[in-house]
Amino acid sequence: MSPNNLGRDRRLYDNEEDLLLTNATTELRAFIIIAIETAMRRGEIHGLKRDWIKGRVAHLPDTKNGSARAVPLSTRAIEAINTLPLQLNGSLWAFKIDAYTKGFNRLCEKLNINDIVLHDLRHEATSRLFEKGLNEMQVKSITGHKSMQMLARYTHFKADELARLLE
């Protein structure tokens, strides 16, 4: 496999999540939390409509891989959604998708959080789902990955967490 096809394995370290959330605007903070809590793609998060959320489930009618899926929402994700002002068009978001990507990049630069991009939060979320004890099929159902190979590419366990399991 060429170096360009290795994929990324960047996870949040130490207090990076707290730093990001403390310093983000309300909308960017909600975007980050939803990304971490759901493993949804950037476009899926941005395309989410309020009426697609029923209880604690976000129903995505069309995803990158061409199929619909239902994404369970944690209490933390629901709380983040509830911080967002109502938009006349039913969207959760006031700005275009690139505003959240650029805002995330600027925030990381300001906080000196290096070598991370917004999409890395999908890797973070996928890994956390496994760390919570969900099995492969459950995580695959949430993330929408079509193959176990691709799911594995998005899963990066922290060695210190694994070491604790070996005690």
Tens digit of pLDDT for each residue in 21-30?
Answer: 999 999 999 9
Of 119, 128, 153, 156, the catalytic one is: 119
- Say whether 64 is catalytic: yes
- Say whether 119 is catalytic: yes
- Say whether 59 is catalytic: no
Q: What does the pLDDT read at residue 6?
A: 58
- Say whether 154 is catalytic: yes
Q: What does the pLDDT read at residue 165?
A: 67
Q: Where are the domains of the chain?
A: 14-165
Predicted structure pTM score? 0.87
- 3-state DSSP of 3-54: HHHCCCCCCCCCCHHHHHHHHCCHHHHHHHHHHHHHCCCHHHHHHCEHHHEE
Under CATH, domain 14-165 is a member of which superfamily? Intergrase catalytic core (1.10.443.10)
Q: What does the pLDDT read at residue 157?
A: 66
pLDDT digits 0-9 by tens, 67-121: 888 999 999 999 999 999 999 999 999 999 999 999 999 999 999 999 999 999 9
Strand ranges for 65-127 from DSSP E: 69-72
> How many CB atoms are located within 10 Å of the residue 119 CB?
16
